[in-house]
Structure 1
Amino acid sequence: MNFLTIMIRKALSSDLTAIHSLTQDCAKAMIASGIHQWNEHYPTQERFEKDVQSGELYLYEENKHLIGIIVLTDFMDDEYISVKWLTNNHNNLYVHRVAVHPLYWGQGYAQQIMTFAKQYAKENQYQSIRLDTFSQNKRNQKFYEIRGYQRLDDIYFPKQSEHPFHCYELTL
C-alpha cells in the first residue's frame, strides 16, 4: 500500500531556503497571470526568518514535500489600525503570507491550509480571523468570501503595489 503522509508543522530555520523558493515561484506565477502582488520587496527571506523565530510560520507538507505555507500571529500590524473591524482589537488571529506552490494550485491545498487556520483559531479561543488580500487578485477574494470572510476597509503597502489590499474578517 502507498500511504500519503500529510503534515502541518511549525517551520524551522532549515526550511528557509525551500520556503523562499516556494514564494519566489508563486510570485513569478502570479506576475505571469497579471497579479503583481509579490515582488522583490515582499516577501523577503528576512521576513520569513522573523516568522520562524517567532514560531508563527507553518508548513503544509505531503510526504515531506513542501506544498504550502501560512503565518498565524496575534500581532496586529500598524497598517490595520485604521480598519473598522467587526470585533474589538483583542484576541484576534492574523493570517499572512498564505502560499501554495503553483504546481498545486486549484487542488484544494489552500482550503486545507485555511481549515487549519480556523481550527487553530478555535482551539486557541480567538474571537476572529483577520487577513488582507490584494485587490487585483479576484480569485483570492472569492476564495475568502466563499468561506464566510467579510470584506471591510482597504489598506496600502506602497512597496508592493499602488493598488489597495482588501481587509477581511471572519468572526468565530
Structure 2
Amino acid sequence: MNMLVYMRQAKNNDLVDIVAIIEAARLYLKQQGINQWQLGYPNQETILNDLNQKNGYVLIVEGQVAGYAAIVSGEEPSYTKIESGHWLNKATDYVAIHRLALSPLYRGQKLTQRFMTAILTYFFEQQVIDFRIDTHPKNMPMQAVIRDNGFTKQGIVRIDEGTDSSIRWAYQLLLK
C-alpha cells in the first residue's frame, strides 16, 4: 500500500496531536519497563517552547500528524560532557535530535526510519553534516532506528530528568 509520507515544520495547531503522541510514547516506555520520560518531561510546555523556537518537526502520513521530533541546532548543554567515550569532533555547530516519537497508530510500519531519513536529508541540504542523539540504554527500538541510520555510539551523557535514570547512550553521525 502506497502512503503519502513527508516531514514538515510543526505548527501551533499541531500541538494537540503532538502532545498525544508524546503521551502515548511515555506510556509505551513505561509498559516496556523503561523509566525515560516518566517524570512529566517532555510536556506541553516543552513542545510549545519547541514550536516557538521553530525546532519542532512532524511526520505527516496521509494528511495526519504521525510523529514528532525536536531538532535543535548548536551546542547542546547536556552533550558538553561525555563519559566512557568521546565525540568524533569538537564541533559545536551540530544538530541534536530530541523527543523523537511516533503515534502508536503507525507502529510497525518502519515510519520512524523514514522520519529519521527525512530529518537527515532536510538538514544535510542545509549544509549540516554533524548529527547527535541520545536514548535510554533500555530503549532498544530507538537504538535500532539510530544504528540503522548510520549513527555510532560515542559514550554516555547525563540528562536531567531528576532521577538516576539520567544516563543516556550518546550517538553521532557525520555525513560527508
Please give the TM-score of this superposition, normalised by the length of structure 2.
0.88
Partner in structure 2 of residue 166 of structure 1: 169
The code of the aligned residue for 1:131 comes to I
Q: Distance in 2 between matches of 1:66 and 1:19?
A: 8
Q: Taking structure 1 as reference, are residues 122 and 158 closer, same or farther at Cα in structure 2, changes over 3 Å only?
A: closer
Q: Distance in 1 between matches of 2:159 and 2:112?
A: 23
Retained in 1: the 8 A contact 2:67–2:103? Answer: yes
Retained in 1: the 8 A contact 2:113–2:149? Answer: no
Partner in structure 1 of residue 117 of structure 2: 115
Query: More displaced, 148-157 or 111-120?
Result: 148-157
Task: Give the match's secondary structure for 2:40.
Answer: coil
Please give the TM-score of this superposition, normalised by the length of structure 1.
0.90
Q: Distance in 1 between matches of 2:114 and 2:137?
A: 23
- Alignment length, in residue pairs? 171
1:135 aligns with 2:125: no
Percent sequence identity over aligned pairs:
25
The alpha carbon displacement at 1:15 in A equals 1.3
Q: Taking structure 1 as reference, are residues 136 and 161 closer, same or farther at Cα in structure 2, changes over 3 Å only?
A: farther
Retained in 2: the 8 A contact 1:91–1:127? Answer: no
The alpha carbon displacement at 1:4 in A equals 4.2
Q: Deviations over 1:71-118 (max 9, x none)?
A: 112132211111221122232111111000123222111011100111
Residue ranges of structure 1 left out of the alignment (5+ in a row): none
Greater than 6 Å deviation, 4+ residue runs? none
Retained in 2: the 8 A contact 1:10–1:57? Answer: yes
Q: Taking structure 1 as reference, are residues 160 and 23 closer, same or farther at Cα in structure 2, changes over 3 Å only?
A: farther
Q: Distance in 2 between matches of 1:28 and 1:155?
A: 24
What is the aligned-residue RMSD (CA, Å)? 1.9
Partner in structure 1 of residue 43 of structure 2: 44
Task: Give the match's secondary structure for 1:144.
Answer: helix
The alpha carbon displacement at 1:26 in A equals 1.1
The alpha carbon displacement at 1:139 in A equals 2.6
Task: Give the match's secondary structure for 1:152.
Answer: strand
The alpha carbon displacement at 1:158 in A equals 4.2
Residue ranges of structure 2 left out of the alignment (5+ in a row): none
